[in-house]
Structure 1
């Protein structure tokens, strides 16, 4: 052993001895500290290991922070020292993250399991270095969608401990007066529960479908038959497309005879924290909207392209439905949705359908090549942007699709889009390099973790056109943040990492009697709005990045949602599968 390693080993041994007596030797976990924050899932063998030392136990004051000098990379047991390095100068991250901090970036490590040790502080959680390091989390995020299936029991052979009875068959759903129908019922089974509640929404079903199908188009089949252990496994077709089809099949039932889409299928009010089969209030098709209709057109037109080889007749059905929706959207440009007075479930309201229309036009054009759709895109080009809320990313999907199919798009138009995406991606890379915890956000709103992942998707789009190592590093930094390199020291994907959310706002997880929540679901993340503050105990005076609470009532910071899982799935799948990303 070299002299530096010998000295480091001695320091670790002294630290351990200081923590022990002959009669009271602490468990190894007692030496693990949340003050060392890193990606708890792990790193690729060619990826530098970036981590932070910060004390979040009390409000940060510069005079209280005691900087350290060195760190050591050890094996998973802490017994063998492999690398010695120096921590950075002290960084003032109080405004955004609420911490004084030091960072370091260790050189890439060989395949194995490691910890970071800082004398007088402790050990980091263990982390892996592996060629497929993100694959389990990628698969987990897809399995999270399976656990959200409505109208279907989840048997133990597929769901394990999270097996449950079927809830919400939705074969006798009612028409709300806002739907344009009076009385009667219709059948609308299947689909995914949208979030922690049991309702189903077209806007927030179509958007995740588009993101998931984008990954399939960009990297090929990321979860072939047999990958996901779902009921369709073994049918000779892609498990990935099988799972997405479960949502698409439901979406098709929500199209009215005139081509418009009912905005959502819900109860009048949210159910209590019960299992799905115990929530038996009547469910209604509520409203029709131009945003839901254009989103449906975008998702089904894209799906028609993707599913052509899977099932040609199904692809034809999807494209016909997309065309009918497009025509309804053109005829009803002001049909914006607002909750009726007697409905209090999620609104997904929007007063501008430009983004949704651009996405629908882009997908229809990429699938058909018809001039009508390109003319509409020329008149209303997609407003690509970063750091926006969920309803602004549809325009990004439009741009990504057009860049993905350059054979369809005139060069001048394509060049403008390409330049815009590249410029935005470069600005995100710069923001990540200078922002606390090396992530792109300055504002933390509802679903901020999905904002981080959606920005990483934009960087991925630029990387597909202009492969650059700084794009890969930025996407990995975004993933690091979500998986544990944050001031809360939390891997926000349930069931992964050493410390993940235990009390997500999710009805099955609250009601099933199992201590751990349903795995593979992404917590929404810090939210300065704290709309649930009356029922949630946030850290007093929490900085924006610490405005998160692992408490079941915290729907504003700790709920899960389809459109939060989907961009995580995309980025994890892209980093693991796309050749130019490795």
Structure 2
């Protein structure tokens, strides 16, 4: 049996995949390995954790700044792992780089969860950091370490780290069993900590995390998200029972998915369990997850009478707030994953949005429209991935990219000196290959300006979902997919 997918050879998805993974090397913090391919980046933040006598060297910078925010870093890791689990077979030589991108994060999260009863949630004072425009290699702002504990809990950040470790444990299971088991054991321990000592880290850490990455919708969705991944990794009924017992405490929103909201991701991930007739869970409660996964589709598809997102005239999916590309990539990832789950399930593979019947192939078409828009099929004819195509953003809101590299300017550039480079009318001297920026406005207009950070700033959580998307389209480009 085959699902025919009409995929034109409009873009080199393999090239874009390679570059999307290169971006993560540009975001590395810590001691860089000899295999580092973004060579204008150098070692940085080699004393992180020193203030609390713990080793927190490594991990990723989330965006343009030099703070390590563990909440979005963990979501990024979960999405990279999910992408490999779903689409790793299509990645070819880039699969090894995907493993490396995940392990750079999981090695770090093992450090961040090494002390029982403590989860390190952030490194770097965001206020001191954001006052400066410095290369990560030069930064001299406070590297304050922030932790959540039993007395100052942070269930959302702890649970997301547990989800990342659980998902990643499956990635490494086939070829590094010892490391996989270590990740899974740690995921279980961190989840229990997150669940037992409940509370939001915005209350315990306050201004350190807000308004930067404070959770706007609570921590319950992260707890269920982590339990869902632990169930997927272990098949233990304890985690399934946890999910089904607590799922009704989460608000019924269907098009929300990203670093702060896991609702649609939970429904898509667990719909596969429900749709499997060979699973006793199906008999248990077939009303769970699948109907809400269908509602997610109906909330996103352009022709759906119940859609809750908007589209630009050029076809880009839009939700309120800055850094809009995070929604286009994350929701497109879910559409592709769900279409593959749906395929092969007979009549239940059709999604009904009131009177509109939607086949799995339509989900693929919508996702393809988004990734093609990002890569250049848009009114501006601009690729929003740095280094892909002939026309792409040259003035991205990113310190390391906008300041001269250590190779070109070995002398220290202090906090105030960096401002002249920020204000320069010259393009960024260092290409952050593969970075996807926040993107154009609702009218498809993009101002290539460092100052316009809502549109010109790249983030790890924009890029993470697109890795799997690009691997999928690389696999089906110009042919049919074998079901």
Interval containing the TM-score (normalised by the shorter chain): 0.7 to 0.9
Structure 2 residue runs of 5 or longer lacking an equivalent are 149-153, 344-359, 406-427
| Compared CA separation, residues 259 and 296, structure 1 to 2 (3 A) | farther
Deviates more, 1:561-570 or 1:572-581: 572-581
SS in 2 for 1:174: helix
Select the residue among 206, 213, 216 that pairs with 2:81: 213
Normalised TM-score (structure 2):
0.78
> Are 2:394 and 1:512 aligned?
no
SS of residue paired to 1:186? coil
**Match in the other structure for 2:448:** 550
Shift in Å at residue 338 of structure 1?
5.0
Matched, 1:380 2:246: yes
User: What secondary structure is seen at the aligned counterpart in 1 of 2:317?
Assistant: coil
Structure 1 residues 321 and 312: CA distance shift in structure 2, 3 A: same
Q: Deviations over 1:191-219 (max 9, x none)?
A: 12111111212211111111111121112
What is the CA-CA distance between 1:444 and the residue it aligns to?
4.0
Compared CA separation, residues 490 and 409, structure 1 to 2 (3 A): farther
Is the counterpart of residue 491 in structure 1 residue 383 in structure 2? yes
2:167 to 302, 317, 322: 302
Alignment equivalent of 2:461, drawn from 544, 555, 563: 563
Match of 1:203 in 2: 71
Which residue of structure 2 lines up, in the alignment, with residue 143 of structure 1?
22
Q: What's 2:325 paired with?
A: 449
Cα distance in 2 for residues equivalent to 1:302 and 1:449: 24
Alignment of 1:371-410 (within 5 A): 371-381=237-247, 385-388=253-256, 390-405=258-273, 406=276, 410=281
Matched positions, count = 421
Give the alignment partner of residue 112 of structure 2, picking from 228, 237, 254: 254
Q: How far off its partner does 1:493 sit?
A: 0.7
C-alpha displacement of 1:512: 2.3
Q: Is the 8 A contact 1:298 1:360 kept in 2?
A: yes
Runs of 4+ in 1 over 6 A off after TM superposition: none
Matched, 1:333 2:198: yes
Once the 2 structures are TM-superposed, how far is the Cα of residue 321 of structure 1 from its aligned partner?
1.1
What's the CA shift for 1:319?
A: 1.4
Q: What is the CA distance between 1:495 and its match in structure 2?
A: 0.9
Aligned to 1:64: none
**How high is the TM-score relative to the length of structure 1?**
0.65
Matched, 1:277 2:154: no
Matched, 1:318 2:201: no
Q: Aligned-pair distance for 1:547?
A: 6.2
Rg larger in 1 or in 2? 1
Q: Any idea what SS the aligned residue of 1:262 has? A: strand
How far off is 1:282 after superposition?
3.5
Structure 1 contact 437–486 (Cα < 8 Å) conserved: no
Q: Which residue of 1 aligns with 2:301?
A: 429
Cα separation, partners in 2 of 1:336 and 1:221, compared to 1, 3 Å: same
How far 1:573 moved relative to its partner?
Answer: 1.8
Structure 1 position 459 matched with structure 2 position 325: no
CA separation of 1:560 and 1:572: change in aligned 2, threshold 3 A: same
- The 5 Å alignment of 1:51-90 reads none
- Higher relative CO (CA 8 A, sep ≥ 6), structure 1 or 2? 2
User: In structure 1, what is the Cα distance between the partners aligned to 2:294 and 2:226?
Assistant: 23
Q: Is 1:419 paired with 2:291?
A: yes
Shift of 1:220: 3.1
138 and 522 in structure 1: CA distance in 2 versus 1, 3 angstrom threshold: same
Worse overlay, 291-300 or 302-311: 302-311
For 1:159, what is the secondary structure of its paired residue? Answer: coil
| Structure 2 residue aligned with 1:503 | 395
Q: Secondary structure at the match of 1:495?
A: coil
1:172-205, CA deviations, whole angstroms, 9 ceiling, x for partnerless residues? 5324xxxxxxxxx211111121111112122111
Q: Per the alignment, do residues 469 and 221 of structure 1 end up closer, same or farther by CA in structure 2, a change over 3 Å counting?
A: closer
Cα shift at 1:505: 0.9
User: In the TM superposition, what is the alpha-carbon distance from 1:396 to its structure 2 partner?
Assistant: 3.0
Quick check: which one's strand share is greater? 1
Answer whether contact 2:438 2:454 (CA < 8 A) is retained. yes
Correspondence 1:134 to 2:48: no
Deviation at 1:506, TM superposition (A): 0.7
Q: Residues 350-369 of structure 1 correspond to what in structure 2 (within 5 A)?
A: 350-351=215-216, 352-369=218-235
Change (3 A) 1:158 1:334: closer
Q: Deviations over 1:404-437 (max 9, x none)?
A: 4546661154563223223422442334899444
CA contact (8 A) 1:301 1:319 kept: yes
Segment drifting more, 397-406 vs 466-475: 397-406
For the 8 Å contact 1:295–1:356, the answer to whether it is kept is yes
Q: Would the aligned equivalents of 1:274 and 1:510 in 2 still touch at CA under 8 Å?
A: no
